[in-house]
Structure 1
């Protein structure tokens, strides 16, 4: 996108429209039933009063990481609800994962001493 300088100097610029997309990534342990996990996240997003249903929230496997399976969660919210929605969704995910025995893995490294 090209914006002429005359539009930047002396104009009010808005970084966001009335809605903003959350970008939440959570890892679950390998061996987790991914379909159950994605269904649980979908339920959480659907139940949240802060998450907009249009445009529809999206979640899916974004990466096979070293310590677990990374799930990307990208719902849309109204700008004034942004911080509260991040906190609410993260807290609810943590609580529901714990209640359903879904493990969020702790990163681990193996160090070998040679010689």
Structure 2
């Protein structure tokens, strides 16, 4: 079992997840690695984004104040590029993708990363 979490949330991101959970119910993240905002983590109501064999579940994030874990999925091709890193989901001011639940809030999720030693 990995001692270093593959994915984690900053306190600001966790707070936003709590707010979005109150509005939208159970949540999930997906990061595709596509162009434009596709390389940013997108937040959806759980199950709204259809995952399949081309996706990897990297984490079930426990968020204080949220009853169920928040799944963090990544496309398999993107995971191959990021497999040596720990992903840190953060939130910053600015509008991201219109498909992600935080877009109307005037903020966007983004990934910060740290290299994991082998």
Common fold: TM-score over 0.5: no
Higher helix share: 1
The normalised TM-score by structure 2 is: 0.31
Which of these two proteins has the greater Rg computed from alpha carbons? Answer: 1
**Structure whose residues are more often strand by fraction:** 2
